[in-house]
């Protein structure tokens, strides 16, 4: 057996397993896409033919190949099965395979068009970074499900945003805890290179971060305090909603819509000739969007207040426990008496991704709604980008949000070329999801573009 085959055969076997796992996740995505909008349980009953309701066996449930073997028809009633099922399964399988290949199969110095392919964190190898890969797998599967549902219903089930965010919180932070227990604290060697105090292992990161996502430095107690305080404020705001101290925005929409349709019907001589409308167009006709933004600002007030309190309190506690801070004349910064532990730094990075990733979208939503008195963006989009931020960091979430505008223009252009009629309202979730995936796979190209914009000779290396 040739030496190259001996080297790559195990990697190819793992790649095949990863793609098979991706196809299985794609099968789950199909279940979520069908059941969540209908309010059905996603676990039971087990998969059945939607036409004859016959329970499917394991042979029909084999991702991609099951549909091919059946010839695209139910084995029992012979009704046609939508090709969407194997297409979604294949898309997720390919996405998983591409991500695994980009991170672990290509060589460390591999380039495409002169740009590095591997993200810096993947240079540490699969054994040290597999939790980040799992987080990204779950995020990608969730984004595919959100894209399809939003394209059909103009809604994003929030559970699809909560799952990747919770996984990111547990896996990123748990990974850092495991690092500290097994290898000790990180110590800097040079920018992007670290050693462990209790291990000979190295750790490679992007510049200006300590982890696989952007994080504050070990000295940034104020930033850590702000993130912890703002998260506490977010929890308090949700409790105030639960106990009806605060009210949900757009809570009277159904009553307004009922009255609006009744008035419209009464104003027409022949109600049967009323113009066609859909839920999305009805939603943007709601005339009290500015008022509802005041409710949302009230919801966000505890987040801002407790964030400020958290920043002040963290510095005060560190000073009281460890003593005065020292001034570093070379950097012009104040150095705390002791550094934050790695797990706390990583936790604050995840929280920053969630809060800033969602906060940027929410700010645009509020500003746009106040300006035009129409809901500018959905809260589902806010939750989506908050989840992206928790998984990938606040910088990637912010970049993806602005990149999504160009994706949306591209989708609109394709619709126009296809002689399709552009609707007044189009879901923005698919554009956000596509932009996130583009950034995940082509971040070096974005960095190259930023370098050109800033007049640099080299790409601008983002954390």
Residue 230 CB: number of other CB atoms within 10 A? 27
- Torsion over CA: 98, 103, 107, 108 (sign): positive
Q: Please check whether residue 419 is in contact with residue 399, taking contact to mean a CB–CB distance below 8 angstroms.
A: no
Closest residue by Cα to residue 174 from 297, 342, 330: 342
pLDDT in tens, 18-66: 999 999 999 999 999 999 998 888 877 777 777 777 777 767 778 888 8
pLDDT in tens, 286-332: 889 999 999 999 999 999 999 999 999 999 999 999 999 998 888 78
What percentage of the chain has pLDDT greater than the value 70?
93
**How much is the pLDDT for 267?**
72
311, HSE (Cβ side, Cα atoms, 13 Å): 11
CA dist., res. 330 & res. 175, Å (int): 33
**How much is the pLDDT for 281?**
72
Average pLDDT rounded to a whole number, residues 255-282: 70
Does the pLDDT value for residue 273 go beyond 60? Answer: no
**How much is the pLDDT for 412?**
83
pLDDT in tens, 83-129: 999 999 999 999 999 999 999 999 888 888 788 889 999 999 999 99
Please report which confidence band the pLDDT of residue 419 belongs to, taking 50, 70 and 90 as the band edges.
low
Does the pLDDT value for residue 275 go beyond 90? Answer: no
Weakest mean pLDDT among 50-59, 125-134, 333-342? 50-59
**How much is the pLDDT for 456?**
86
- Rounded to the nearest integer, the mean pLDDT of the chain is 89
Does the pLDDT value for residue 278 go beyond 70? Answer: no
Does the pLDDT value for residue 441 go beyond 70? Answer: yes
**How much is the pLDDT for 279?**
66
Q: Give the chain's radius of gyration (CA, Å).
A: 25
Average pLDDT rounded to a whole number, residues 416-444: 81
Q: Kindly provide the b/e burial profile for residues 437-455, where b requires at least 16 CB atoms within 10 angstroms of the residue's own CB.
A: bbbbebbbebbbeeeeeee
3-state secondary structure the chain: CCHHHHHHHHHHHHHHHHHHHHHHHHHHHHHHHHHHHHCCCCCCCCCECCCCCCECCCCCCCCCHHHHHCCCECCCCCCECCCHHHHHHHHHHHHHHHHHHHHHHCCCCCEECCEECCCHHHHHCHHHHHHHHHHHHHHHHHHHHHHHHHHHHCCCCCHHHHHHHHHHHHHHHHHHHHHHHHHCCEEEEECCEEEECCEEEEEECCCCCCCCCCCCCCCCHHHHHHHHHHHHHHHHHHHHHHCCCCCCCCCCHHHHHHHHHHHHHHHCCCHHHCCCCCHHHHHHCCCCHHHHHHHHHHHHHHHHHHHHHHHHHHHHHHHHHHCCCEEECCCCEEECCCCCCHHHHHHHHHHHHHHHHHHHHHHHHHHHHHHHCCCCCCHHHHHHHHHHHHHHCHHHHHHHHHHHHHHHHHHHHHHHHCCCCCCCCCCCHHHHHHHHHHHHHHHHHHHHHHHHHCCCCCCCCCC
Residue with tokens 């009744």: 262
pTM over 0.95: no
pLDDT in tens, 150-183: 999 989 999 999 999 999 999 999 999 999 999 9
């Amino acid at each position: 057996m040739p030496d190259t085959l001996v080297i790559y055969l195990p990697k190819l076997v793992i790649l095949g397993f990863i793609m098979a796992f991706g196809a299985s996740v794609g099968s789950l995505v199909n279940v979520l896409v069908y059941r969540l909008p209908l309010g059905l349980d996603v676990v039971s009953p087990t998969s059945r033919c939607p036409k004859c309701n016959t329970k499917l066996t394991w042979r029909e449930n084999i991702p991609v190949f099951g549909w091919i073997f059946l010839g695209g028809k139910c084995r029992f009633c012979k009704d046609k099965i939508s090709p969407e099922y194997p297409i979604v399964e294949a898309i997720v399988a390919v996405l998983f395979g591409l991500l695994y290949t980009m991170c672990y199969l290509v060589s460390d110095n591999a380039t495409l068009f002169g740009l590095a392919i591997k993200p810096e964190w993947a240079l540490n190898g699969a054994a040290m970074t597999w939790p980040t890969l799992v987080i990204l797998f779950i995020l990608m599967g969730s984004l595919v499900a959100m894209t399809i549902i939003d394209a059909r219903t103009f809604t994003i089930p929030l559970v699809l945003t909560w799952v990747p965010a919770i996984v990111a919180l547990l896996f990123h932070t748990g990974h850092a805890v495991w690092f500290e227990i097994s290898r000790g604290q990180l110590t800097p060697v040079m920018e992007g290179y670290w050693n462990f105090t209790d291990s000979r292992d190295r750790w490679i990161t992007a510049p200006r971060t300590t982890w696989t996502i952007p994080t504050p430095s070990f000295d940034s107690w104020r930033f850590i305090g702000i993130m912890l305080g703002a998260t506490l404020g977010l929890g308090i705001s949700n409790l105030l909603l639960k106990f009806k101290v605060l009210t949900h925005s757009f809570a009277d929409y159904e009553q307004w819509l009922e009255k609006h349709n009744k008035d419209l019907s009464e104003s027409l001589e022949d109600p049967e000739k009323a113009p066609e409308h859909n839920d999305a167009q009805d939603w943007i006709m709601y005339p009290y969007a500015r008022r509802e933004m005041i409710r949302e600002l009230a919801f966000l007030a505890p987040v801002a207040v407790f964030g400020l309190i958290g920043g002040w309190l963290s510095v005060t506690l560190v000073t009281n426990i460890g003593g005065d801070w020292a001034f570093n004349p070379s950097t012009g910064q104040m150095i705390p008496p002791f550094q934050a532990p790695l797990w706390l730094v990583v936790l604050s990075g995840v929280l920053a991704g969630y809060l800033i990733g969602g906060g940027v979208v929410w700010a645009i939503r509020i500003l746009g709604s106040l300006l035009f008195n129409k809901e500018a963006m959905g809260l589902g989009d806010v939750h989506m980008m908050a989840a992206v931020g928790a998984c990938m960091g606040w910088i990637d979430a912010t970049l993806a949000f602005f990149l999504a505008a160009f994706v949306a223009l591209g989708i609109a252009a394709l619709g126009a070329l296809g002689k399709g009629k552009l609707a007044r309202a189009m879901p923005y979730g698919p554009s956000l999801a596509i932009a996130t995936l583009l950034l995940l796979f082509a971040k070096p190209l974005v960095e190259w573009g930023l370098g050109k914009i800033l007049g640099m000779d080299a790409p601008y290396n983002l954390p």
